[in-house]
Structure 1
Amino acid sequence: MIDVNGIRLHIAEQGSGPLVVLLHGFPESWHSWHHQFGPLADAGYRVVAPDQRGYGRSDHPDEVDAYTILHLVGDVVGLIRALGEDKAFVVGHDWGAPVAWHTALLRPDMVRGVAGLSVPPPFRGTQPPLAAMEKRFDGRFYWNYFNRPGVADAEFARDVRTTLRKFFYAASGSARSDGKVVQPLIEHGHGWLEKLPDPEVLPEWFTEEDLDALTESFSGGFTGALNWYRNLDRNWELTAAWQNATVTPPALYMYGDRDLVPAFPGTPELIAKLPHLMPNLWRDPIELAGCGHWTQQERPNEVNTALLEFLKAHS
């Protein structure tokens, strides 16, 4: 447990050497990086993965506006300092990726290199994202569903283990073997979970022990994690000063070809342009065949190989 930015964060740590901070996404915990600890530590790196604010054993502030992107970047900056370092490699998946990208954007002096899995670098749009998706999908996009106070919180907390089992299977490459990726829409008057498949057998990359660890980390509910989504428009307002700014530290981006996030409106076009938009993008974006949303868990060997090559090239 480490005091950081006015809160306490729970971290997992292994190894010594240049610091690598691993940032999980939704609905996850530090455990989502368990395949990365050994290989990165054995290669000579100090690997640290926090439960980010609102998750697991870390603090869960009550106020919705305590989960802005500036708070989340502040946690990473504070964590690097609390660990006695001035710089770090920052790697993020899902929601952890925007935190990693924004840490590199706002504090490039502290970032040796940045890697994002699933979610590409932040290029600020011309209108608030929640409002844009509300208009585009008539309020059915999952961001808007998550933004209704108490609604998703209650649905997901009814049976935490079933919620997580459905989430992880439905967004995985295992459930998308036909290669079709559809927009995550929730019909008015319905919940999200009711239409998600509930597998009789988990994919081999996601064990019952993994599900046990994840279920325990959400024993306090989902509200803290959902509050990240409730700040999407606020984040858009807070980052106005960085309109058209680019991430300048060395950068790596990886995603699965069956992941729903890279198929969001406008994202395929953004990914295609990244080599021209990112001055220090290391290699073209890496697409992992047959991989769904849970990148570092579904394809640990490929992710570890790419990360280690990237870290070595910029250590």
Structure 2
Amino acid sequence: MLQRTVTANGQRFHYAEQGEGPLVLLLHGFPESWHSWSHQIPMIAEAGYRAVAPDLRGYGRSSKPRRVDDYRITELVADCVGLVEALGETEAVVVGHDWGSMLAWTAAWTRPDVFRGVVGLSVAFGGRGLLPVAGVSSLGELRPSEVHRVIAGPDKAFYQEIWIDGEGLAAEAEEDMYTFFRDQFHSFSGDVYPADHQPPNVLTISPEEVLEFTRASGAVVDRGSRFRSGLVSPETLPEWLARDLDFYVAEYERTGLHHALNWYRCMDLDWELLAPYEGRPIEVPAMFIGSDLDVATLWGAEAIANFPTTVPRLTETVILERCGHWITREAPVATGEAIVRFLRTLSSAK
């Protein structure tokens, strides 16, 4: 696996690369980096593809513009298009997890001339709103800040409000990066649930049930509370977390979280910028990979149900079992196999 840098869309991007063949662009989420794809990169390469996983704008060893609106979704999509061009290609399949999923869906939605296929992990296609949350605004009917207030109710706050308020989450994390990342990753993983926990069925649960679940979870807190007060510390580190924790602690002790959080600070602006695409379906072949213990997959239940209309060329919805939010690391082999299976459907369709 090689690591390089390239200039694209006026920014410098660090990326990891392996393999030869059609380009597959792998987009990480928050708070991660190219490293989140370290298990899937060799699997995709071995299957006959060129796997490229960049540190996205504001992360790792890539550029970190200072202005908040430099992190608007149209500029992030332009980064993806620029990366394809800088890598000497004209098209790519785009695969994303978490925030990377929102970016991947949007790239395929707005630039189908460049992105010939899309795989979204964890976060279903949310239209203008990017993140479909609890059935309140599955396709961007309301601007994100309004969605947050509806979900939280009076005297409460949705977690994203805390994250973007001043230094917010960045200040909390930087007090002790090790315990913050340990508890953040653990709290949204499948390991936080007891072995006999029966998750709701994301394919049958109602929007009302999802909203009730969300309000009762750590995603909604008392105003003035610290986000990390709702996190859970593991008694022992699971293998997948022990393997990666030191990498992420070192990475964010060096960079901080401030620039990465600007992606969240732009969500209302993104909603405005994507207005011209409202009501349009995604035109290219697609796959969705969620997991049964991932709150973000559950939030998107209504959006998943809308896939026949919004993502009419969807080839498959995969729901991984006994897996939390960190799909690429908690279920690395199953994730890689699903992505390769999708890539091969594109090849066989030619």
Q: TM (normalized to structure 1)?
A: 0.95
1:269 equivalenced with 2:302 (yes/no): yes
Matches within 5 A, 1:74-93: 74-93=78-97
- The one-letter code of the counterpart of 1:167 is Q
Pairing partner for 1:278 from 311, 319, 328: 311
> Contact 1:94–1:119 at 8 Å: present in 2 too?
yes
Query: Which residue does 1:292 correspond to in 2?
Result: 324
3-state SS of the aligned residue for 1:205?
helix
- Give deviations 1:84-106, integer Å, cap 9, x for gaps: 00000100000000110111011
3-state SS of the aligned residue for 2:39?
helix
3-state SS of the aligned residue for 1:282?
strand
1:222 equivalenced with 2:267 (yes/no): no
Q: How big is the shift at 1:186?
A: 2.6
1:127 equivalenced with 2:142 (yes/no): yes
The whole-number CA distance in structure 1 between the counterparts of 2:337 and 2:297 is: 22
- The one-letter code of the counterpart of 2:26 is L
3-state SS of the aligned residue for 2:282?
coil
The whole-number CA distance in structure 2 between the counterparts of 1:179 and 1:35 is: 28
Query: Which residue does 1:59 correspond to in 2?
Result: 63
Query: Which residue does 2:206 correspond to in 1?
Result: none
> Contact 2:281–2:309 at 8 Å: present in 1 too?
no
3-state SS of the aligned residue for 2:237?
coil
The whole-number CA distance in structure 2 between the counterparts of 1:77 and 1:262 is: 27
- The one-letter code of the counterpart of 2:290 is Y
> Contact 2:126–2:303 at 8 Å: present in 1 too?
no
**Residue ranges of structure 1 left out of the alignment (5+ in a row):** none
The whole-number CA distance in structure 2 between the counterparts of 1:161 and 1:74 is: 33
The whole-number CA distance in structure 1 between the counterparts of 2:225 and 2:311 is: 40
The whole-number CA distance in structure 1 between the counterparts of 2:74 and 2:187 is: 31
Q: How big is the shift at 1:179?
A: 4.3
**Deviation beyond 4 Å, 4+ runs, structure 1:** 179-182
Pairing partner for 1:27 from 17, 27, 31: 31
Matches within 5 A, 1:186-225: 186-207=221-242, 209-218=243-252, 219-225=254-260
Query: Which residue does 1:154 correspond to in 2?
Result: 171
> Contact 1:179–1:258 at 8 Å: present in 2 too?
no
The whole-number CA distance in structure 1 between the counterparts of 2:240 and 2:171 is: 28
1:166 equivalenced with 2:198 (yes/no): no
3-state SS of the aligned residue for 1:10?
strand
- Give deviations 1:209-260, integer Å, cap 9, x for gaps: 4111111221221011111111111100010101111111110001011101
Pairing partner for 2:295 from 230, 244, 260: 260
3-state SS of the aligned residue for 2:239?
coil
> Contact 1:176–1:292 at 8 Å: present in 2 too?
no
3-state SS of the aligned residue for 2:160?
helix
Number of positions where the alignment pairs a residue of Structure 1 with one of Structure 2: 311
3-state SS of the aligned residue for 2:303?
helix
The whole-number CA distance in structure 2 between the counterparts of 1:185 and 1:73 is: 30
The whole-number CA distance in structure 1 between the counterparts of 2:327 and 2:308 is: 21
> Contact 2:282–2:310 at 8 Å: present in 1 too?
no
Query: Which residue does 1:238 correspond to in 2?
Result: 273
The whole-number CA distance in structure 1 between the counterparts of 2:295 and 2:341 is: 27
Q: How big is the shift at 1:111?
A: 1.2
> Contact 1:254–1:287 at 8 Å: present in 2 too?
yes
1:42 equivalenced with 2:59 (yes/no): no
> Contact 2:280–2:310 at 8 Å: present in 1 too?
no
The whole-number CA distance in structure 1 between the counterparts of 2:19 and 2:56 is: 20
Q: How big is the shift at 1:276?
A: 4.0
The whole-number CA distance in structure 1 between the counterparts of 2:7 and 2:227 is: 35
Q: How big is the shift at 1:171?
A: 0.3
The whole-number CA distance in structure 2 between the counterparts of 1:135 and 1:104 is: 29
- Give deviations 1:184-224, integer Å, cap 9, x for gaps: 123222211122111132112222x4111111221221011
The whole-number CA distance in structure 1 between the counterparts of 2:151 and 2:41 is: 40
**In percent, how many aligned pairs have the same letter?**
43
- Give deviations 1:49-104, integer Å, cap 9, x for gaps: 00111111111111111111011111100000000000001000000001101110
